Amino acid sequence: MNILICWVGNTDLNCAEREESDNLGPIAQAFKENAYDKAIFLDNYRNARVDVFCRWLQNRVGIKPEIYPVSLTSPTNHKEIYESARKLVADVRAQHPDADLTFHTSPGTPAMALVWLLLAPSCGARVIESSREHGVQVVQFPFEIAAYFLPDKDLTRLATDASPVHPAFADILHRSESMREVVAQAQRIAPRDVTVLIEGESGTGKELFARAIHGGSQRASKPFVAVNCGAIPGELVESALFGHKKGAFSGAVQDTPGFFHAADKGSLFLDELGELPLTAQVKLLRVLQEGAVTRVGDTKPQAVDVRIIAATNRNLLQETTEGRFRSDLFYRLAVAVLHLPPLRERGADVILLLNDVLTKANRELLARGKEKDKKFSDSAKKIMLQHLWPGNIRELHNTVMRAVLWSSGEVIDERSVRQAMLLPEKREASIWERPLGNGFSLKTLLDEVAAHYIRRAESEAHGVKAKASALLGFKNYQTFSNWRDKL
């Protein structure tokens, strides 16, 4: 069933009263160019003119519209318009859960049109507009703008209603273009039994991706073993990875399998791979080439069937150039390479993650007997949206949890958020007080200032270049792009 939903506009009423043959008005024009099974209109006029219009439209298109009367203090009151439209859509969805909805933005005021644009993503509706010059056209609205205004539960639904993903990737909450691309790449390589290298800053979710890739593979029912290479003492790396025989060294009181044996038939996640010493890298390369490991103190290799998923916060290609990582091991690992973007480059994903972590924190409070959920004040949310999150998702998660703890009331205010963010003290001298000489460079200082404001503008604009350009006073987004690329 196709359902058209919109406000009754003054232009539509005038067209019905004049019965002009060459000007049908937005609503009738929509019926002329598309087929609808039902029409439901919000009516804030609530007078006889609307009755005249409904009879006129029924005579033209053969469908009697359903009228949903509402009372507005003003046709530009966004809050009242939003609440009325949202209630209507909820009622329609309850009665017709499988219907295809179309919102028409042309009838009514600009405020009414904006509300349809904000509501459409969360309920999967199509949005159209019409004009005498261009006819009926479909409207596309950027998610990044809708995400800032949508209520949390609508936003969560929007995130989960994105393009279909494998269930194993359901925990990777995202909507930004940069993350959509990475998730799509990860889903393509998951069922293919190839080695994966995941690069990204600390806290960007590399292990989450590794687990998703394992979950989407044919090895999903087999072990997933995660190893932090940087946490293993250098002298124990070989034993930890490959195992050892009893008596192989002091303290080896029994035969012990290594991580490779534990992950047999499954996936071995080698986190912080760049921390492995060169001697261990040589032996790891041999295992990857031969598909067998030799325990410390043993002479007989044992076959293992392991898929390697490695991760690093370093640039391994640069590490190989500088001699800190073996190039032959790098190219053996770099069959499928994923680059996870930092949170500061993920636009509207920040607000999705904020809401998700807050929901989880509220769930924990409920389990402890707290009945009411906590929420961010507008000013608190604005501070968090403007933060660059150098610690990425891990920093965001811990910050939200601290904010929940620091806040004594139901509303997490600006003060609680600032306490939770653990901002470092600024020990560097003001730009007006830098000492001259001894390596001082005016160009470097100016570039630092420019880079700071470029990052701030990009963050506040949620990645929308045109908006970032306007915030910085540039005439067009190309100027912003040129500065960003330069710095």
DSSP 436-460: PSTT--HHHHHHHHHHHHHHHHHHH
| Residue 230 token pair | 């940087």
**Angle at Cα 397 formed by Cα 391 and Cα 403, nearest 5°?**
110
Give the span between the Cα atoms of 61 and 91, in whole angstroms: 24
Which range of 146-155, 186-195, 342-351 scores highest in mean pLDDT? It is 186-195
| Residue 159 token pair | 């995130």
Task: Give residue 85's identity as a one-letter amino acid code.
Answer: A
Neighbours of 59 (CB within 10 A): 10
pLDDT score at 144: 45
| Residue 71 token pair | 């009372």
Provide CB contacts within 8 A for 245, sequence distance 6+.
252, 255, 295, 296, 297, 298
Provide CB contacts within 8 A for 290, sequence distance 6+.
301
Mean predicted confidence (pLDDT) in 266-289: 92
The sign of the torsion formed by the CA atoms of 436, 441, 443, 449 equals negative
Mean predicted confidence (pLDDT) in 56-71: 90
DSSP β-bridge partners for residue 43: 69
CB 110 within 8 A of CB 81: no
pLDDT score at 424: 62
Which position has the higher pLDDT, 371 or 326? 326
Which position has the higher pLDDT, 247 or 410? 410
pLDDT score at 477: 79
Q: Worst-scoring range by mean pLDDT, 169-178, 299-308, 431-440? A: 431-440
Say if residue 265's pLDDT is above 90. Answer: yes
pLDDT score at 218: 92
Largest CA distance in the chain: 100
Give the span between the Cα atoms of 287 and 282, in whole angstroms: 9
Work out the pLDDT band at 1, boundaries 50, 70, 90. confident
pLDDT digits (tens, 9 = 90+) for 182-208: 999 999 999 999 999 999 999 999 999
Instruction: Determine if residue 136 is left, alpha or beta; phi over 0 gives left, psi from -120 to 50 gives alpha, anything else beta.
Output: beta
CB 145 within 8 A of CB 139: no
| Residue 243 token pair | 């195992």
Work out the pLDDT band at 163, boundaries 50, 70, 90. very low
| Rg value, the chain, Cα | 29
Share of the chain above pLDDT 90, in %: 34
Say if residue 455's pLDDT is above 50. Answer: yes
Q: Do domains 177-340 and 344-420 have the same CATH topology?
A: no
- HEC letters along 302-349: EECCCEEEEEECCCHHHHHHCCCCCHHHHHHHCCEEEECCCHHHCCCH
Mean predicted confidence (pLDDT) in 372-397: 88
Neighbours of 360 (CB within 10 A): 14
Work out the pLDDT band at 158, boundaries 50, 70, 90. very low
Q: Is 198 in a helix, a strand, or coil?
A: strand
Number of alpha carbons in the 13 Å side-chain half-sphere of residue 141:
24
Q: DSSP state, 374?
A: P
Say if residue 272's pLDDT is above 90. Answer: yes
CB 259 within 8 A of CB 225: yes
Q: Is 1 in a helix, a strand, or coil?
A: coil
Share of the chain above pLDDT 70, in %: 90
Give the span between the Cα atoms of 293 and 314, in whole angstroms: 27
pLDDT score at 42: 93
pLDDT digits (tens, 9 = 90+) for 110-143: 889 888 888 887 677 888 998 877 788 887 655 4
Say if residue 391's pLDDT is above 60. Answer: yes
CB 405 within 8 A of CB 374: no
CB 340 within 8 A of CB 241: no
% helix / strand / coil in the chain, to the nearest 5?
50, 15, 35
The single residue listed with the structure tokens 């690329």 is: 485
Work out the pLDDT band at 236, boundaries 50, 70, 90. confident
CB 304 within 8 A of CB 292: yes
Task: Give residue 176's identity as a one-letter amino acid code.
Answer: S
Range list of β-strands (E), 170-242: 196-199, 224-228
Say if residue 2's pLDDT is above 50. Answer: yes
| Residue 383 token pair | 């501070």
| Residue 342 token pair | 């930092």
Say if residue 216's pLDDT is above 90. Answer: yes
pLDDT score at 245: 81
* CATH 3.40.1380.10 matches 2-141: no
Q: Say what the alpha-carbon torsion angle 105, 111, 112, 113 is, to the nearest 10 degrees.
A: 20
* CATH 3.40.50.720 matches 344-420: no
Domain regions of the chain by residue span: 2-141, 177-340, 344-420, 442-486
CATH topology classification for 177-340: Rossmann fold (3.40.50)
Give the span between the Cα atoms of 151 and 145, in whole angstroms: 13
Provide CB contacts within 8 A for 361, sequence distance 6+.
374, 400, 401, 404
The bridge status of strand 126-131 relative to strand 256-257 is: unpaired
